[in-house]
Amino acid sequence: MEQKIRHDVYLGHNIRRLRLSRGLTQEQTTARMQILAAASAEELMQKSKPAYKISALRNFLL
Which pLDDT score, from 0 to 100, does residue 49 have? 53
Whole-prediction pTM: 0.52
Q: How many CB atoms lie within 10 A of CB 14?
A: 19
Q: Identify which of 8, 32, 3 has the alpha carbon closest to the alpha carbon of residue 18.
A: 3
What pLDDT shows up at residue 1? 47
pLDDT, position 20:
95
8 Å CB contact between 43 and 50: no
Q: What is the pLDDT of residues 3-42, one digit of tens each?
A: 666 666 678 888 898 999 999 999 999 998 888 887 777 7
Single-letter residue type at 29:
T
Residues 6+ apart with CB under 8 A from 13: 6
Residue 23 corresponds to which amino acid? G
pLDDT bracket for residue 58 (50, 70, 90): confident
